[in-house]
Amino acid sequence: MYGLTQLFSGLTTAALLFLVAAGLTMIFGGLRIINVAHGSFYMYGAFIVSSLVGTALTSSAHATALFWTALIVAPLVVAALGALTEYLVLRPLYGREHLLQLLATFALFYIFTGVSLLFWGGQYRSISIPPMLQGHLTVLGATLPVYNGFIMLIAVAVGLFMWWLLQRTPLGWRIRAAVEDPEMLAAMGTNVRGLFTGVFTLGTFLAGLAGAIVGPTQSVTTGLGAQILVSAFIVAVIGGLGSVAGAAIGAIIIGLSQAAGVLWAPQFESAFIYVAMILVLAIRPSGLLGVPEQ
């Protein structure tokens, strides 16, 4: 059942892409900023876990506990960094040209890359999968690594949480209202600036979480952020910038088309996703669930 195995691998990719793209799309929806540095937060999540856990993760209970701790601490540290970034760099740029905002995050991308080289060097680092999550499941004759199942579970949990947060809480109403008309919201007494900081912090938290859980599945290096960024953009754009539900749909489309690429045209596997994006945008220039830009 090679096909089903590929399907699982595609869904794992989709899960990670969703976590990163959900933050990206939320930040765009609220702040109207294309965050080029988003991948860097993801990369930091992975690096922090690698520093906390180290490479020698043996079967001891201590090591497992360390992994779970790292999984919580890393996204929190990344979120704090995100909050600081929004406060110091992005706030002064609200209301200015898109180009300047884009370039500020591009500058941040360079800075974060440099800082990560300073702290962690250019080498590849690897993190072992904690003993509890090692091994494989066999589903309908196809193999699914337990850890990949874990990644999918986290993504589904985050997806449900985001749905609840955005649709069912006063905070979610405010975030959605900020996308529609921030001035009106401010006039009604909401601290929109603070809300924006919150949205950015939540978005970077998700990126940090995705980075933290991806660590054990691949080697951790500085290039990690640049790699995922483009795919996450494509997911967000296909779904429609600003729409978290769109990001979920986009992530599944991209994850599955990558899996299809591996199955049918391995040589051009990653070209599939760009073609998918160009096709979607040629037909619907604002993405599947996006609202047209004025």
**Binding interface with other proteins (CB under 8 A):** 28, 32, 34, 36, 88-89, 91-96, 98-100, 102-104, 106-115, 117-118, 122, 182-183, 185-186, 190-194, 226, 230, 233-234, 237, 241, 267-271, 274-275, 277-278, 281-282, 285-286, 293
Structural tokens at position 163: 């749905």
**Smallest gap, in angstroms, from Cβ of residue 137 to other proteins?**
31
**Smallest gap, in angstroms, from Cβ of residue 270 to other proteins?**
5
**Residue 56 CB coordination number (10 Å):** 8
Closest CB to other proteins among 106 and 173? 106
* Spatial distance between the Cα atoms of 275 and 233, rounded to a whole number of angstroms: 14
Closest CB to other proteins among 148 and 204? 204
Closest CB to other proteins among 1 and 117? 117
- Contacts of residue 157, defined as CB under 8 A and 6 or more positions apart, other chains included, come to none
The residues that bridge with 242 in the sheet, in sequence order, are none
Closest CB to other proteins among 164 and 274? 274
Query: Cα angle vertex 140, ends 137, 143, to 5°?
Result: 35
**Smallest gap, in angstroms, from Cβ of residue 82 to other proteins?**
16
* Spatial distance between the Cα atoms of 113 and 109, rounded to a whole number of angstroms: 6
Closest CB to other proteins among 150 and 233? 233
- Contacts of residue 120, defined as CB under 8 A and 6 or more positions apart, other chains included, come to 47, 50, 51, 222
Query: How many residues in the chain?
Result: 294
**Smallest gap, in angstroms, from Cβ of residue 162 to other proteins?**
22
